[in-house]
Amino acid sequence: MTTLADCVTLTLPRVHDKRGDLSFIEGGHHIPFDIRRIYYVYNVAPGASRGGHAHYSLHQYAIAIHGSFDMVMDDGRQKMRMHLNDPHQALYIPPMIWHDLDNFSPGAVCMVLASDIYEEADYMRVYDDFLAEFARREAAWRQEWTEEIVLQHNTHPVTAHPRTGTPIETAVLTDASLNCCLLYTSPSP
């Protein structure tokens, strides 16, 4: 599951001398994907916002190349606002993070490095659609997580299948982060 904890900043290499600063990014080296697309947002009208969407699978890094702006991120559970104003800091925006950009300073430029080319089908542009996808993925993650825990921990034979007599495994798991107690019984062969 993607969470806001995954939205981290990366300090880019910076070479400084009397002529000025130079920062650079190498796809697959500084960032964990090959850069397939670069785009930038500029000339944003005062009070306007950009973004207002999430992606199913696209990974991105956003950089305030000039000026500043705020990135408001939402993982389906909580929101976080981050102020970007340093051209050698890149903010990672993983898939399944709803994001809005606002509070642009005059002349601000936001450059984005993306893991893939533009694909409209990868966008969720309606917030309720994002929340529905979040709920679907969270349910799948919980199921997968539960099955993983059951397979690795806390299992012990307690009885046999009533029809076949085959031993089965039962586990009772209590997890505060899931706010539930799970009873798992392995399927009969």
CA–centroid distance for 184 within its chain: 30
The DSSP bridge pattern shows strands 167-175 and 180-185 to be antiparallel
Question: From CA 99, how far away is CA 127, in angstroms rounded?
Answer: 10
Give the Cβ contact number of residue 186 at 10 Å: 16
Burial class (CB in 10 A: 0-12, 13-18, 19+), 19: exposed
Q: Which positions are annotated as active-site residues?
A: 53
**Cα maximum dimension of the chain:** 83
The string of DSSP letters for 80-133 reads: EEEEE--TTEEEEE-TT-EEEEE-PPTT-EEEEEESS---GGGEE-SHHHHHHH
Measure Cα distances from 170 to 141, 166, 183, 184 in Å: 21, 13, 7, 6
- What tokens does 76 get? 């389906």
